[in-house]
Structure formats: C-alpha cells, structure tokens
Amino acid sequence: NAGVMQNPRHLVRRRGQEARLRCSPMKGHSHVYWYRQLPEEGLKFMVYLQKENIIDESGMPKERFSAEFPKEGPSILRIQQVVRGDSAAYFCASSMRNTEAFFGQGTRLTVV
Amino acid sequence: AQTVTQSQPEMSVQEAETVTLSCTYDTSESDYYLFWYKQPPSRQMILVIRQEAYKQQNATENRFSVNFQKAAKSFSLKISDSQLGDAAMYFCALHSGAGSYQLTFGKGTKLSVIP
C-alpha cells in the first residue's frame, strides 16, 4: 500500500513561470490537504479538498494559487507567475473522513 | 482561531539521555487532538505520538511520551534514551473541529543529539 506520493520532489522555476505540484493520495483516501512550509517555519494550511470539491481554501493566497482534486487522477496545486517568495516546501496529506492524515515527502519549489 | 507555540527553537541532548520539548496551544474547541511530528532532513513528516484531549492518560509510544496538561494547555514531548536517529525538527500540531483533519503547526524545535 503505497503512501502519499508527491512529484516532483524538487522543482525549479524562473520568475513568471507556472508551477504544478502533484499529489496522489493513499489508496482509499478521498480527502486531500495542502500545506506550505517556508524556511525555518512550521507547516501552514493552504487548502482542503475532497473529490471534485474545494472544502476549505482559507489558507490559500487570493491570487495566482489554485488547487483541484479531480474525480480521476492526482490533486494538483498550481501556482501561476511564480515569485521568489513562493519558494518553499509544499506538502500534501491525505485521509479518509475524520481520520488521521498521512503526509507525502513534499515538493521543494525554488524560484530563481 | 487556534494557535500552537513552541518556545524552544533549538535543543540538544546527549545520547542515551532524556530531553523534553515544550509546546503550548490555544483553542476554543472542547474536542481536539494534539500531535508531535518528526521531520528529519529527508523532509518526510513522521507522526511520533498523538493525544486525544478527552483522554486523561498521557500517551506513550516506546521511548516517546507526552505530558498533557489540559488546564494549562500544555503538551510537552519527552524522549528517553535519546538516539542519534532522533535528531530532527519536531513539530507540535493541533487538530480541532469535526469534518476535516486540518492541522495547525508550531514553528518547530530542532533537536540535536550529541554522541
């Protein structure tokens, strides 16, 4: 039973480009959470999704960031027109309803 | 809003000794869960121990135990017989409210283990 899979592990983008981060939840998990970890900081909640629905996006920046979790395929966190301040580790976690969430290994985004 | 505070940015411990990492939190919910996560250099978030707020007994997992003081909103982690592999960032986290497993994290404590 594979764990939460995130890819890529490392992503380098130039300022102004788009970044797409992928998260495949654990088998049987229909809830996905995205977190961002800035250097020397803890993880900060961004968005909570269920299949085809955004449940809570209170932690998402208002512009340039979007997330989806389609009926088929992985969850995607998309950052348009990246800036240096977007450089961070982005973590995905998945769970079944009201159960413990399991984390992926994260994607480290570097904007140059 | 809920908050989690870890007041020790860095700690060190001699191998085989015991160390305690501090965490305080704030929430208006009566039903909540507290966690300690370990993050080694590989970046993987590893669940170390969890505590349900309604349980008075402190959780224990092998060499890891917690001191849960509900009235004081304190949740410290004790690591006994420290090993070199325990060196990592440790994050305290809080989950409260039904319907999702959204976590609020502290800023972390970097633990070094001295051989």
Instruction: Write the pLDDT tens digit of every residue in B31-62.
Output: 899 999 999 998 889 999 999 998 889 999 99
CB B106 within 8 A of CB B2: no
User: How confident is the model at residue A98, as a pLDDT?
Assistant: 67
Which residues of chain B lie closer than 8 angstroms to A95, CB-CB? 101
User: How confident is the model at residue A40, as a pLDDT?
Assistant: 81
B4 touches chain A (CB under 8 A): yes
pLDDT of A73 above 60? yes
User: How confident is the model at residue A97, as a pLDDT?
Assistant: 73
User: How confident is the model at residue B42, as a pLDDT?
Assistant: 87
Beta bridge pairs of residue A53: A50
pLDDT tier, A1 (very low <50, low <70, confident <90, very high otherwise): low
Among A35, A48, A103, beta carbon nearest to B100? A48
B47 touches chain A (CB under 8 A): yes
* R_g of chain B computed on alpha carbons: 14
pLDDT of A2 above 80? no
Which residues of chain B lie closer than 8 angstroms to A35, CB-CB? 103, 105
User: How confident is the model at residue A48, as a pLDDT?
Assistant: 93
Which chain B residue shows the shortest CA-CA distance from A89?
A: B43
Among A55, A89, A98, beta carbon nearest to B43? A89
How far is residue B93's CA from residue B78's CA, in Å, rounded to a whole number? 16
pLDDT of A52 above 80? yes
pLDDT tier, A76 (very low <50, low <70, confident <90, very high otherwise): very high
In the 8-state DSSP scheme, what is residue B59?
Answer: P
Query: What is the tens place of the pLDDT at every residue in A18-48?
Result: 999 999 999 989 999 999 999 888 899 999 9
Query: What is the tens place of the pLDDT at every residue in A77-112?
Result: 999 999 999 999 999 999 887 678 899 999 999 999
Tell me if A93 and B44 make a contact (CB, 8 A cut-off): no
Q: Which residues contact A31 (CB under 8 A, 6 or more apart)?
A: A25, A48, A49, A50, A94, A95, A96, A97, A101, B100, B101
User: How confident is the model at residue A41, as a pLDDT?
Assistant: 85
Q: Which residues of chain B have pLDDT under 70?
A: 97-100
